[in-house]
Amino acid sequence: MKETDKLPDKPLSVWPLGITYEIFVQSFYDSNGDRIGDFNGLTQKLDYLADLGVEAVWLMPIMPSPSYHKYDVTNYIEVHEDYGTLQEFKNFVEKAHERDIKVIIDLVINHTGIGHPWFVKARQKDPIYRDYYIWSDLDSVAEQINKKEVTGDSDNILQWHALDEDPEGEHYYGFFWGGMPDLNFDNPKVREEIYQIGKYWLSEIDVDGFRLDAAKHIYPEERATDNHNFWKEFRSEMQQVKEDVYLIGEVWAPTEVSAPFTQGLPALFNFDLAYSIIGSLKNERSVSAVIAGSSWELEEGVTLIEGLIRNEAAFRRQNPDFINATFLSNHDQNRIGSMLGGHQEKIKIAASILFTLPGSPYIYYGEEIGMLGQKPDPYIREPFLWDIKKEDSGRTTWQRPSYSTDTTLMPLQQQKKDDNSIYAHYKKLIALRRNSEILTLGDISEIVTESMGLLAYRRSYHNESLLVIHNLTDTAITYPVEGNSYEVIMSAPETIKLDKDGVVIPGYASIVVK
């Protein structure tokens, strides 16, 4: 291993621009043999995460819920018994902090579960809790449908749900489904409840921040300003407890819609960039992508880097300190490995792109070993493969995997022995980034090449710069490099060399040059 492939004693990257690792606790590591991942399992694997080089973990929902995914919360100040006790979670947070790893948890406040005591009392017409949710009778719902004025992001009657399965009676609003009734944030008591919940996790449990689920839907889409103002107020309230609280929002929308949210949410996930990376690798052209409705499409005539620069500029106009949270895939999307057809070299180059672009990179658990998965959702959240099955005492078995199995994927322990594995590639890239102020903090400018098959850009910081080139095709391409004052910082494969005529970049290869 080269010296630059090792993690620095003191990283040059600066949180929150460091690397975050998203974990579905249920699928990560089972410490007690009950088939389900747990907090003690997370604690046991902290050394693995520290060695990998991540600087924070984001945990998908950990609060009590009747669903495996736990996005329909029934108690905001407890943890799910399948995962362990609150004390075991506090121990995990403490041990993570000892390793300089931050802990971010999913906070699901757009809606509760129907089993939450607030909703149980609301459906009984309790005078306090009734107004915690949004209600309408059937005639009003029908009238709104007819006038296309239904509250919410669409005029779909399926977002209104009959109470007690009485189609002629009262309905409550639930944007996502009937098991998740939306909270009424016009009620100041609801807002205060939510603020106290956030403060509890920050002060009593010492988490470092929150990933805010469905941040776009606190108020209906036509009340965008109310949404923006709510998140500004939420952040202000959280800063009363922890000044440096980290908030990252899920706002899945075009740039012009999502940018104003950064007034209160200083970090947002960059969905456009994720799709651009995938589209570029699938098409083997350095193209950009935009969200179109609920899907996405390639943006003709715009390169990936041009799209990224436009996107960042729009966000920084709203918040100069905006944090661009970059990723390849997450728990709501088909895994990057499957989207690239399991192509090992394309999976590697996707990581090479992610870790050499600006922003704060996120790794979805298992991406570092090339895990596969396609919807429905349980199959993009399959168990992590630590070792071959007969040796893997901590592998969770809450569901039988269809994509990431011993026959489709080399488990972690085997990849650790292979210098050409996806895991080895991730380790190399993470160390590269953590050793580089330029890659962590630097600006980006596009380099236009004669071939759309090359993705090339310059990263610059304090009068120093790096040249980054990725070959998105399966054919070697020569890139001319003038002069002789160049040093290869990283190449994959390592055999790429510079000479007086430039550099020949093999198919699906990357090089970083100082």
Burial status of residue 147 (CB atoms within 10 A of its CB: 0-12, 13-18, 19 or more): exposed
What are the tens digits of pLDDT across the range 75-97?
Answer: 999 999 999 999 999 999 999 99
State residue 37's pLDDT score. Answer: 98
DSSP state of 383: P
State residue 138's pLDDT score. Answer: 64
Q: Are 255 and 322 in contact (CB under 8 A)?
A: no
Q: Which of 219, 224, 214, 194 is nearest to 134 (CA)?
A: 219
Q: Are 377 and 332 in contact (CB under 8 A)?
A: yes
Could you state, in chain order, the average pLDDT of each consecutive group of 10 residues for the chain (514 residues)?
A: 57 80 98 97 98 97 97 98 98 97 98 98 95 84 55 60 78 93 98 98 98 95 95 98 96 91 95 94 89 74 92 94 96 97 97 97 98 97 96 95 97 97 97 94 93 95 94 92 77 81 90 93
State residue 381's pLDDT score. Answer: 98
Amino acid making up residue 258: S
State residue 151's pLDDT score. Answer: 45
Q: Which domains does the chain have, with CATH numbers?
A: 117-173 (no CATH), 443-513 (2.60.40.1180)
Structure tokens at 155: 């005029």
The model carries a pTM of 0.94
State residue 296's pLDDT score. Answer: 78
State residue 483's pLDDT score. Answer: 60
Residue 376 preceded by cis peptide, ω within 30? yes
Contacts of 167 (CB under 8 A, 6+ apart): 138
State residue 164's pLDDT score. Answer: 77
Please give the C-alpha separations between residue 367 and each of 65, 107, 371, in angstroms, as whole numbers.
27, 23, 6
- Residues that are catalytic: 213, 250
State residue 1's pLDDT score. Answer: 47
